[in-house]
Amino acid sequence: MKKTRKTLKAIIILVLLTGISGCRATSEMSVHNENASNENLRIVKNESNSASKNSNSALPTNNNSSTDNDNLNAEQSNIEPNENVSNGDNAVTFNSFGKVKTGMTVAQASQALGTELVGKAEDGMDCYYVNPKQGFKGVRFMVTNKTIARIEIESKAYATDKGAKIGDTEAKIKSLYKGIKVSPQKYDEKKHDMEIYSADKKYLILFETDGKRVTGFRAGKAEEVGYVEGCS
């Protein structure tokens, strides 16, 4: 009887120990599985974040585009308007304005300019002015002996073949032309005449200034360019 009880007690203890070991194993397995699941989730999140960063870095950003546009606008704003609209077609030389040359008749000059030159001499006057009928505002031509003798410029829109124009400083004119003669104007000593003769002395360009900047200029035959009062 005592032996039977001992055997039974041993069996019960064995069963209890087996149950406790099973529970502990199950618990440890559960914790292991949970940790593995968390680790997998962390890896997936990291891969997702990495993919998102790579995708964003491949796309152009609006900030860069905005900066490029600002730089372009800044460059464009620094660009000054070109006041010297006189190109080679309408440049003033010692004896010409574009295709119009001194010595041409009014009819020839009109054809060369592409528009009629209008104007007529007063009775008994051999000197008179003609003006383009269309366009070329600020330009007129003196006629003597029935031919073009002098070109007068009163607009910033036209320049000489060296780039001199109304508004330029006297210093700039001196930098563009050599052998300039500067003298006070006849009726106002504060103003200046700046004269440049052609090599053969037959032609003259004369810049009128207010003492600092060009206010107008004329070119053509030296004698006629020298007329202070024009045809008067």
Q: Is residue 42 part of a domain?
A: no
**CATH number of the domain that 214 lies in?**
2.60.460
The answer to whether residue 193 scores a pLDDT higher than 80 is: yes
Whether residue 62 is predicted with pLDDT greater than 70 in this model: the reply is: no
pLDDT surpassing 60 at residue 198: yes
**In the structure, what pLDDT confidence band is assigned to residue 170 with cuts at 50, 70 and 90?**
very high
**Domain for residue 193, yes or no?**
yes
Residue 143 identity (one-letter amino acid): V
User: What DSSP state is assigned to residue 187?
Assistant: S
Domain enclosing residue 96, as ranges: 88-225
The pLDDT-based confidence of 56 (bands split at 50, 70, 90) is very low
Mean pLDDT of 202-218: 98
Q: Is the pLDDT of residue 30 over 60?
A: no
Q: Which tokens belong to 90?
A: 């309408």
Contact assessment for residue 75 and residue 60, using Cβ atoms and an 8 Å cutoff:
no
For residue 25, pLDDT over 80 is answered with no
CB 128 within 8 A of CB 120: yes
- Per-residue pLDDT, averaged over 78-96, amounts to 63
Segment 129-140 shows an average pLDDT of: 96
- From the list 202, 204, 201, 212, the residue with the least C-alpha distance to 228 is 204
* The pLDDT value given to residue 61: 45
Whole-number percent of the chain with pLDDT over 90: 59
Confidence of residue 12 (pLDDT cuts 50, 70, 90): low
Q: How confident is the model at residue 201 (pLDDT cuts 50, 70, 90)?
A: very high
pLDDT at 5: 55
CA distance 92 to 89: 9
- The pLDDT assigned to 59 comes to 43
In a domain, 207, yes or no: yes
Predicted pLDDT of residue 105: 97
The number of folded domains in the chain is 1
Sequence-distant contacts of 134-143: CB under 8 A, at least 24 apart = 136/90, 139/97, 141/97, 141/100, 141/109, 141/117, 142/220, 142/224, 142/227, 142/230, 142/231, 143/106, 143/119
Q: Is residue 4 part of a domain?
A: no
Residue-wise DSSP of 90-151? G-EETTEETTEETT-BHHHHHHHHTS-EE--PPTT-SEEEEEESSS-TTEEEEEETTEEEEE
Q: Does residue 155 lie in a domain region?
A: yes
Confidence of residue 89 (pLDDT cuts 50, 70, 90): confident
